[in-house]
Amino acid sequence: MPAARAAMNDDSLLRLLAWLSPAFPTGAYAYSHGLEWAVESGDVTDEASLHVWVADVLVHGSGYNDAVLLRHAHRVSSQSAALNELADLATAIAPSRERRSETLDQGTAFIAAAAAWYPPNLPARVPYPIAVGALAGTHGIAEGATAAAYLQAFAANLISAAVRLVPLGQSTGLRVLAALEPVILRIAHATRSATLDDLGGCAFRSDIAAMRHETQYTRLFRS
């Protein structure tokens, strides 16, 4: 029995590593979550300001909300009607056009790329945290581990964008990612008992950055 449990845990780990790898074709590299405008405006200029920006997004913005949505999608992964309602809610709370496109494009690409793992029945256009949570739930992968891995991948993608935009060195980006580990684990833990009524945030500067990015003159990223 212990060997069987270990093998199942190994399967879950391999799937999370594959699904949330930068190489998984969700197109995440094309999105900065408004960070491109933050760099141009001078809000993010170095290691310290990048750490503060990403931590705020995780704690007070999309990171927290995505973790809540992911957990709820995980719990109803076998219920198509409930997943559709969650997908509608996740789409509705996107604070700007580009944020909406970002989550829908990545979620839709994620499910298409995950075809080899037999994803659940989801809407044609599905927000990213709903897609990840539903697929992990379908495969019996632990909810908490999925939430933590998702948040780590989310933070890593923002840091990767900043490394290219500021620019910063790879070592600097890795230091920021390492320093964010306690924040990521704290949010993953804090969302365990969160309800959908707890969705919301106050990362207003990040939301404004996403809106301003829509009309930014020179852009490398789609958001």
| pLDDT tens-digit map of 127-180 | 999 999 999 999 999 999 999 999 999 999 999 999 999 999 999 999 999 999
CATH superfamily for domain 35-213: Urease accessory protein UreF (1.10.4190.10)
Give pLDDT tens digits for 19-43. 999 999 999 999 999 999 999 999 9
Count of positions (residues) in the chain? 223
Give pLDDT tens digits for 188-203. 999 999 999 999 999 9
Reported as type and span, the H/E element at residue 182 is helix 181-190
Domain boundaries, the chain: 35-213
Q: How far apart are CA 63 and CA 54, in angstroms?
A: 9
Percent of the chain with pLDDT over 90: 92
pLDDT for 10 equals 84
Q: How far apart are CA 187 and CA 184, in angstroms?
A: 5
Percent of the chain with pLDDT over 70: 96
CB 105 within 8 A of CB 97: no
pTM of the model: 0.95
Q: Is 5 a residue whose pLDDT tops 60?
A: no
- Mean pLDDT value across residues 57-61: 98
Q: Is 7 a residue whose pLDDT tops 50?
A: no
Q: Is 98 a residue whose pLDDT tops 50?
A: yes
pLDDT for 2 equals 38
Q: Which two tokens stand for residue 151?
A: 């948040």
